[in-house]
A and B are shown apart, each in its own frame.
Chain A
Amino acid sequence: MGKSTLLKLLYKEVVADQGKVIIGGDDVTRIPGSRLRRSMGIIFQNFRLLEKKTAFENIAYGAEVLAMPPVEVRRRTMEILELVGLHEKAHRLPSELSGGEQQRVAVGRSLINQPKLIVADEPTGDLDPENTDRVLEILDRVYRERKTTIVFATHAVDVVNRLSRRVIRLKDGRVESDTMGGYWADEKQAGAK
């Protein structure tokens, strides 16, 4: 089992055929997928934005489909655009944004429903160092200011070290180590999946 599969188990894109997946004390195999995902935000490496919607609309979409009143959708979206530093580009389409900006829109979308948990699958995998820094800064702010748990899957050593939080290392589908801080720096990427 790789790290992406592990994350899919968390948001029930994949259902475990044995064992348990427990989040916040609840066994997720017993909770309907839609209810579970309402308390989560999900971020992917390849952004997955709606090409015909602006940055504002992409972020708001996540709340609109859950039938949030427009006034509240607008308030939250503006606040998130501010947080991700895109308030001046709110009405641009994804094609008019850089890769880093598109990923910040995707991060914003994952925050719109004020999740308790964010699951990020290689969110900086397609970004240059500068944009990686910006995304990491935003996620760090979300963690500190909103007290949101973030499960961040990556194979990039420098990213792990910069975050310097709890690191769970997987090897051949098993937990190889579970430590605090960025000890992984010494081991480089060898053998990690």
Chain B
Amino acid sequence: MDHITQQCITRTATLTSQAGALQHDLQKVMRCFGRQCRGQGKVFVTLLRQTETQLLEVGSSIATLAQQAHQALEKATHLSASTREHLASDLSAAQAAHQQISTQSRRLTQGKRLSHCKIVNAYDPTIAPILKGKSNCPAPCGRKSGIISEPTAGFIFATRVPVGNPSDASYVLPLVDKVQSAIECITAPLRLSIHSVAGDLGVNDPVLRQTLHANGILSVGIPKTVEPLNPQPSPEAILDLLNEAGLNRQRTPHQVQLACACGYSRPVVESHIASVLCRGAGQIRYKGPQGAVVQLGMTVMAHNGAAVVRIYQQRLSKRAQKFRRWLGLRRRHVNQIKSSKN
């Protein structure tokens, strides 16, 4: 243990100075590219590969040192078993993190394309670059949150904050399951069910459609092409849609019409997202994946409270009011003050 400590002390100074010099050089070059590193990508990648090679050389001895530390830890009998176990697990975690980062760096230096979920933060491997960035700008790094909402007042039923950056289609079934569990929470004798789900082209997946149809949910609101959906399909088209989904006996033509209208006006979800973003969901301030879940969940609950207030006060758009009438939702009067729940 002493031997490793001595070795580490001597190497720490060297490594710190080397890393500092590299960082300084990198900052100098990055400054040439202007704001946010915009510039010729080719030059930047070349520089990045050179820097990565040097960093890999610097950190090449970490694996050997970690192995030695593991061996020394096994011999350290003066430490209690629980302490040794705790230290060994910490060491293994640090070793695994370094291995992941070095594998990614080697792939980059060899000119190969990186995998979908690359590590962008050594302290939080769950953060991923989001593909929804602006063009000609660096991709934002963080998390891709998913929401499922109703189309009238923008009440959000459930959220999902997965690790990394999975495809949009993978969000649908977990979110639908959460809504289903919320429906099951209702004690009153109401017969509520999910009739249809609408999404953008990113959700278009044949397997997902089949699963939704198997659960009795229409997928006509999910487009197959970039063309906008027909908000008022003909009776023949409705029959075709029902036959295609195999839901002739489960869903009515009126429900298909509503699903088409809902799919056509799907961009209204952007206003629900904007409402959540203006409450601070655009930047996760809490730590780690759990913090992200808590922040988004609390933001969405606050948003839902505001949405219910809007319903009570009838501060809804014409489209939303029309949709509520079609869905047979209750109309509240302005002077109908609800009793306090406190």
Q: Tell me whether A and B are bound partners.
A: no
